Amino acid sequence: MSNLQMHGTTVVAIRHNGQIAIGADGQATMGNTVAKNNIKKIRKLSAGKVIVGFAGGTADAFTLLERFEEKLNAHGQNMKRAAIELAKDWRTDRYLRKLEAMMITVNKEELLIISGTGDVLEPDSEVASIGSGSMFAQAAALALKKHAPHLTAEEMVKESLHIAADICIYTNHNLTIEVAQ
């Protein structure tokens, strides 16, 4: 294999009617080639109480997931505090700052986007998205929240990802969706 990083994905999380769901497609690409179509980009941490979705270089994302889990353990499972501490380290640590990935983290109360630029964002719209198809999924999610409020957060995530997969060549229909408990 070449030294190209695997990338190309869509992750979306939605808070709606007291429920938070997160999902991702399963496609990984190397350059303009599909390398794998069934990658699991959603991981449960803290005995399933925190769910993380990642986009970017796969090895980079797993490194960040491990660090995030360490931060969760160090800060009593406080997701927001762990996210802030990870973002600080990610931005200042010589090794970590070279990692190219982003994460969405959710628990039953919170929805956060964590980036390598030191950002920990709580989206105003209660919709978070990352990856190559993120803007398609976000637009679909916002429309669904406005025009189909009878749907559950899980149904909205599923439909948003399918819409993104219909448009974005780096997103497929092989989905993993989890609901925060």
Domain assignment present for 148: yes
Q: What is the mean pLDDT of residues 75-87?
A: 97
pLDDT value of position 4: 38
Domain assignment present for 1: no
Q: How far is CA 22 from CA 91, 110, 122, in A?
A: 25, 12, 14
**Percent of the chain surpassing pLDDT 70:** 96
Q: Where are the beta strands (DSSP E) in the chain?
A: 10-16, 19-24, 28-30, 33-36, 42-45, 50-56, 101-106, 111-114, 120-121, 127-131, 176-179
pLDDT in tens, 2-48: 333 445 789 999 999 999 999 999 998 888 889 899 999 999 999 99
pLDDT in tens, 124-148: 999 999 999 999 999 999 999 999 9
pLDDT value of position 3: 36
- How many angstroms separate the CA atoms of 57 and 49, rounded? 25
Range of the domain at 104: 10-179
Q: What is the CATH number of the domain that holds 112?
A: 3.60.20.10
Pick the catalytic residue: 9, 10, 29, 58? 9
pLDDT of residue 50 exceeding 50 = yes
Domain assignment present for 43: yes
Please name the residue that has the structure tokens 């399933």. 48
- How many angstroms separate the CA atoms of 177 and 166, rounded? 18
Domain assignment present for 3: no
Structure tokens that stand for 98 in this block = 């070279």
Q: What is the pTM of this model?
A: 0.93
Q: What is the mean pLDDT of residues 75-97?
A: 92
**Cα distance between the two ends of the chain:** 39
List beta partners, residue 54: 103
Domain assignment present for 122: yes
Domain assignment present for 5: no
pLDDT of residue 1 exceeding 50 = no
Domain assignment present for 4: no
pLDDT of residue 49 exceeding 80 = yes
Residue 117 annotated as catalytic: no
- How many angstroms separate the CA atoms of 95 and 93, rounded? 6
pLDDT value of position 7: 55
Domain assignment present for 68: yes
Strand order in the sheet with 120-121: 42-45, 50-56, 101-106, 111-114, 120-121
pLDDT of residue 160 exceeding 50 = yes
CB neighbours of 4 closer than 8 A, spacing ≥ 6?
A: 30, 31
Q: What is the mean pLDDT of residues 107-113?
A: 96
- How many angstroms separate the CA atoms of 135 and 153, rounded? 18
How many domains are there within the chain? 1
